[in-house]
Amino acid sequence: MSRAPVRVVVVGLGAWGAHVAWRLARRGADVVGLDRHAPPHGFGSSGGATRMFRTACLEHPDLVEVARRSDELWRGLADRSGRRLRVSDGGMLLGPPDGPVVSGARLAARLHGLPVEVLEAADVRRRYPGHATLPDGHLAVVEPEAALLDVDQVIRGALEQARDAGARLRTGVTVRRAERRAGGVRVEWSGHGPDDGGTIDADVLVLAAGVGNAGLLPDLAPGLVQAAGWRTVVMPMTFLRVDDPAGLGVDDLPVFMRELDDGRVLWGHGVLPGADPTVVKLGVEAATPLPPDGEVRPLAPQDWAPVLERAPVAFPGVRAEGVTGAACPYDRTRDGQFVIGPVDDGRQVWVAGGCNAHGFKHSAGIGEAVAEGIVEGRTSLPVGAFAPDRFAGTGAHAVVGG
Ligand SMILES: Cc1cc2nc3c(=O)[nH]c(=O)nc-3n(C[C@H](O)[C@H](O)[C@H](O)COP(=O)(O)OP(=O)(O)OC[C@H]3O[C@@H](n4cnc5c(N)ncnc54)[C@H](O)[C@@H]3O)c2cc1C
């Protein structure tokens, strides 16, 4: 007699939840996906149209394999669906040789034999006019396999694959709380109207709610939020006016992260073909805590200041003038690493969160690792370093596997 498929509720259908739903449904799980908005959207951590993909993972060398698996899954998705997920190829990490950006990228490249090229500043200035002001002594780690991803296409593609594989996905549904019950979980949800709501029972719950995770975790994994130093911050996602577009096309300025001498990191990419040549996406890694009322507010002048001071100096064609921008919320953890895996002995409640502002490129691999862990009991992807149980005393566990 064949066993009934495992029933899984996935909370959140943004970058990570969409891929969890897809990879679970592909493995025959009975998947219900819920989201309070209608992804893709700009209210969570995935706003702003584009994201950098790279396998030179300075944040943790184990992530190289997760990024590679994402790339493999996305190439398959693009072939099947005709969607264009990679909008430009190639990417660069620049800065002082001993700074975290360049040294971390070189470490990941050395450990995994990645096909990167390390360029001296003079060569960078010649080959990439967008970085014409890169100071002597700085280096660039150039990765031809890096890319600029189209956020909407990636999320829409994953949701489409999930639906095609049988997942039932509902939007406009907010999960208010969840509890563990004998042999499973119960999720309480509400919709838009006063009488719109109910409960769903399942075998397993996956929390992939981005900045919504921290509100749902305390009932399910007491102490984890505190132990992990889990907190929501906001980073400005900014677009600046261009005075002189020379050197600011995407071929001259492929997607990049550039550490400056003051330790701040600028990120962005040149103008894509067909896009408005007078606007470029450029930002500074500068996060501030979410206000105590939890409201994500429009950017204030002080939020713009770090990028308006630095971008025109680093990129002379850029004006100190913001065109449009938004505060982009995301979650940080004490050690700067993701939190992926079951949070209980029964492996009924899983979390995929704590993205630390570098998780988009790993979305498909994370979806795969969580789905394998739930359906097969282990994963071949090396996500053990991101297990919730690294935060001692929370009773949480690793996915099991690499
Ligand atoms: C400014 C900035 C730049 C970045 N740049 C890069 C980059 O270049 N490359 C890279 O790899 N990563 C980057 N990142 C990180 C990346 O964007 C995130 O890691 C990724 O988007 C996280 O996706 P998520 O699924 O966790 O969150 P989200 O996409 O926000 O999805 C969470 C979903 O959960 C839903 N939800 C929340 N609460 C509930 C609830 N109670 N009930 C139902 N649904 C709920 C939300 O509506 C949302 O759709 C950047 C992040 C920021 C902030």
User: Does 222 map to a domain?
Assistant: yes
Secondary structure element (H or E) that encloses residue 259, with its range: strand 255-259
**C-alpha–C-alpha distance, residues 91 and 52, integer Å:** 8
Atom of ligand 1 nearest to the CA of 353: 26
Tokens for 324?
């449009």
What is the average pLDDT across 331-335? Answer: 97
Task: Spell out a b/e string for 350-375, using b for 16 or more CB atoms within 10 Å of the CB, else e.
Answer: bbbbbbbbbbbbbbbbbbbbbbbbbb
Tell me the best of 358, 361, 370 to mutate to test the pocket of ligand 1, counting ligand atoms within 8 Å of each CB and taking the most: 358
Q: Give residue 376's domain range.
A: 7-46+153-230+334-390
| Tally of domains within the chain | 1
pLDDT at 42: 95
Percent of the chain with pLDDT over 90: 94
pLDDT above 60 (res 55)? yes
Report the sign of the C-alpha dihedral through residues 386, 38, 212, 162, in that order: negative
Ligand 1 contact, 365 CB (< 6 A): no
Q: Which amino acid is at 71?
A: D
Q: What is the CATH number of the domain that holds 205?
A: 3.50.50.60
User: Does 253 map to a domain?
Assistant: no
pLDDT above 90 (res 194)? no
What is the average pLDDT across 360-371? Answer: 98
pLDDT in tens, 306-321: 999 999 999 999 999 9
Confidence band, pLDDT 50/70/90 cuts, at residue 401 = very low
What is the average pLDDT across 366-376? Answer: 98
Confidence band, pLDDT 50/70/90 cuts, at residue 398 = low
Atom of ligand 1 nearest to the CA of 155: 29
Ligand 1 contact, 212 CB (< 6 A): yes
pLDDT in tens, 218-276: 999 999 999 999 999 999 999 999 999 999 999 999 999 999 999 999 999 999 999 99
- φ, ψ at 65 (rounded to 5°): -70, -35
pLDDT in tens, 26-44: 999 999 999 999 999 999 9
pLDDT above 90 (res 397)? no
User: Does 208 map to a domain?
Assistant: yes
Secondary structure element (H or E) that encloses residue 93, with its range: strand 86-95
User: Does 211 map to a domain?
Assistant: yes
What is the average pLDDT across 193-203? Answer: 94
Locus of tokens 């305390």? 218
Cα 235 to its chain centre, rounded Å, is 13
Ligand 1 contact, 189 CB (< 6 A): no
Ligand 1 contact, 35 CB (< 6 A): yes
User: Does 82 map to a domain?
Assistant: no
User: Does 309 map to a domain?
Assistant: no
Atom of ligand 1 nearest to the CA of 16: 25
pLDDT in tens, 71-102: 999 999 999 999 999 999 999 999 999 999 99
User: Does 123 map to a domain?
Assistant: no
User: Does 21 map to a domain?
Assistant: yes
Tell me the best of 173, 330, 337 to mutate to test the pocket of ligand 1, counting ligand atoms within 8 Å of each CB and taking the most: 330
